[in-house]
Structures are given as C-alpha cells and as structure tokens.
C-alpha cells in the first residue's frame, strides 16, 4: 500500500464515523431523488440513469475486478451498458499495451450482456450504432424468464463475471434476479443491486411505481443475503461515495 493509499484509508475510516456528513448525504439523496437528479446525465452521448458517485464506484470495481463479462439487467437508453463497455474496452486496451500486441477492435475480448423487457427501437438503434456495439449483446425479455437466464448462464461459462441488477425494483423481481444472476458472479467480484434506496426514502418519490418502502430491492438483498453466506455487503463503498442509490446493494462474492 502506498503512503497515499494509507492516507485514503484513514480519511475514509473517519468519514464512516462522521454522522453530520452522512445526514447531509441522506438529505441530498431525498431532495435530489424528488427532482429526478439521476435522469440528467449522459455517458458518451447516451442517457445514463445513475448517480455519478455510483458510476465512479463502478469504475473502481471494474478496474479492480477486471471482469470478462458484465451482465446488466435494465438497459433503458443504454448509458450504463455503454459505460460498462467503455470500461471493458479500456481494460482490453491496457492489456494489449502491457502484452505488447495490437488490439483487435473487431474481436473484443471483454463484453457486456444486457437484458431489458422492452428495448425501445430508438434506443436499440443508438446502442447498435455506438462504436462499442460489438462488445454488447442485448436480449429483449424479462430478466427472470428462464430462457433469458439460461442464455446468461451459457455466456458466463468460464468467464470472470460482474452483475448489475437495475430493472424492475420490486422485492419479488429482485429476489428472483438474485437467485438467477448472483450465482454467475465470480469470487471476488460483485453483484450490484441498484435502487435499494427505495427502502429508505419517502414513498412519495415513487407514487407511479409498484415499488415502495414495503416492496423494494433492499428487502430482496437482505432476504437473499440471509440465505446465501457466499456474499457480503461491501459497506466501504457506500461509506466512501456517501451518495448512492445502492445502500447495502454492493454485494461482494467472498466464496
Ligand atoms: C432504471 S431503468 C435502467 C437504467 C439503466 N441501467 C441506466 O443506468 O441507464 C430500468 C429498465 O428496466 C427495464 N425492465 C423493467 N422490468 C424488467 C424486467 N422484468 N426484465 C428486464 N428489464 C426490465 C425497463 O424497461 C427499463 O428500461
């Protein structure tokens, strides 16, 4: 560990005990969710429905895990899958530089598998026309459809896999997604359950949605974790980024 990394560790340990800053973060989350803050960002031209802090955490995780395959449920406009594809493209590029060989951009090594129940035509077109499109396989269907899960399982064979669950945020759906997709995650890698924050904020934010404080991804993650000791919540991530839609949602596979 470098001196700088040691300093970061000390700062973060202090921050984790800093109740005033955590209260401010929680107020910011409520106020910003109410005005749909996460709907204002773009990744390389595509709308990405995320908080920048979660995307930065994802970047750090992708860098440390170096997955071969990122499986994502919930495509929407494609921003998050283009983000994942670009991080994987950089990993392939660095590997080529270090290995002293030319990168074959038409045959990418690291890939994204993305699932959405309703891929709007304009989004499919924009994603398909993106320069990194050949890293992305899109499947239209429910993420818990056995055929879709089978396809994800087959594509994950022998790969280092990281999973992001960001589709239907009801308890039942996320619980089923965890059962289907968490087993694909490699040891040391992550299953990221988005929008666990629904549990912690007013239902007034989601009046037009089926999820609520009594029906949400955090409950699904907790139930699933109580039955699966091979994953733990990586609390360090949320206590570092402070602003996150995924409290208790960064699940690390430890065995
Ligand atoms: C929050 S958006 C995804 C945002 C995207 N990950 C991003 O960061 O930009 C949720 C998406 O989940 C999709 N969805 C809803 N129910 C689903 C299901 N049962 N299976 C797969 N996708 C679903 C919706 O069509 C929608 O596009």
The pLDDT tens digits of the residues spanning 121-146 come to 999 999 999 999 999 999 999 999 99
pLDDT in tens, 181-212: 999 999 999 999 999 999 999 999 999 999 99
Q: Kindly give the distance from the C-alpha atom of residue 250 to the centroid of ligand 1, in angstroms, as a whole number.
A: 18
Q: What pLDDT is recorded for position 98?
A: 97
- The alpha helices in 35-165, defined as continuous H runs, are 52-65, 79-99, 121-128, 146-156
CATH number of 3-253: 3.40.50.150
Query: What is the rounded distance in angstroms from the CA atom of residue 193 to the CA atom of residue 169?
Result: 9
- 99-104 average pLDDT score: 95
- pLDDT category at 15 given cuts 50, 70, 90 is very high
Secondary structure (3-state) at 3: helix
- pLDDT category at 1 given cuts 50, 70, 90 is confident
pTM for the whole thing?
Answer: 0.98
pLDDT in tens, 78-87: 999 999 999 9
The residue whose CB lies within 8 Å of the most ligand 1 atoms, and thus the one to mutate among 59, 83, 117, 164, is 117
Contact 43, 86 (CB under 8 A): yes
Q: Kindly give the distance from the C-alpha atom of residue 245 to the centroid of ligand 1, in angstroms, as a whole number.
A: 15
Q: Kindly give the distance from the C-alpha atom of residue 63 to the centroid of ligand 1, in angstroms, as a whole number.
A: 25
Provide φ and ψ at 138, rounded to 5°: -110, 135
Provide φ and ψ at 191, rounded to 5°: -115, 115
Q: Kindly give the distance from the C-alpha atom of residue 21 to the centroid of ligand 1, in angstroms, as a whole number.
A: 31
- 40-64 average pLDDT score: 97
The residue whose CB lies within 8 Å of the most ligand 1 atoms, and thus the one to mutate among 76, 178, 195, is 76
Instruction: Report how far apart, in Å, the C-alpha atoms of 254 and of each of 9, 84, 234 are.
Output: 21, 22, 10
For the cut 90, the answer to whether the pLDDT of residue 219 exceeds it is yes
Cβ < 6 A, ligand 1 pocket: 48-50, 73-77, 79-80, 115-118, 142-143, 166-168, 173
Query: What is the rounded distance in angstroms from the CA atom of residue 237 to the CA atom of residue 61?
Result: 10
């Amino acid at each position: 560990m470098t001196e700088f990394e040691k300093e970061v560790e000390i700062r973060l340990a202090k921050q984790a005990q800093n109740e005033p800053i955590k209260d401010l973060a929680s107020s910011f989350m409520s106020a910003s969710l109410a005005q749909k803050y996460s709907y204002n960002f773009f990744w390389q031209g595509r709308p990405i429905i995320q908080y920048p802090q979660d995307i930065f955490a994802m970047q750090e995780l992708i860098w440390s895990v170096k997955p071969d395959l990122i499986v994502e449920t919930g495509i929407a406009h494609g921003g998050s899958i283009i983000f994942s594809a670009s991080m994987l493209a950089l990993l392939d590029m660095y590997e080529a530089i270090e290995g002293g060989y030319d990168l074959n951009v038409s045959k990418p090594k690291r890939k994204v598998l993305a699932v959405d129940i309703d891929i709007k035509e304009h989004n499919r077109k924009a994603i398909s026309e993106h320069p990194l499109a050949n890293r992305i396989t899109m499947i239209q269907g429910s993420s818990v459809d056995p055929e879709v899960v089978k396809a994800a399982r087959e594509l994950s064979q022998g790969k280092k896999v990281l999973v992001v669950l960001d589709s239907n945020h009801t308890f039942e759906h996320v619980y089923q997604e965890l059962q289907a997709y968490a087993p694909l995650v490699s040891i040391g890698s992550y299953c990221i359950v988005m929008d666990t924050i629904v549990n912690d904020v007013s239902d007034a934010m989601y009046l037009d949605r089926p999820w609520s404080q009594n029906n949400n991804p955090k409950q699904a993650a907790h139930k699933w974790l109580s039955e699966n000791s091979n994953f733990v919540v990586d609390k360090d991530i949320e206590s570092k980024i402070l602003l996150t839609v995924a409290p208790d949602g960064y699940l690390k596979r430890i065995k």
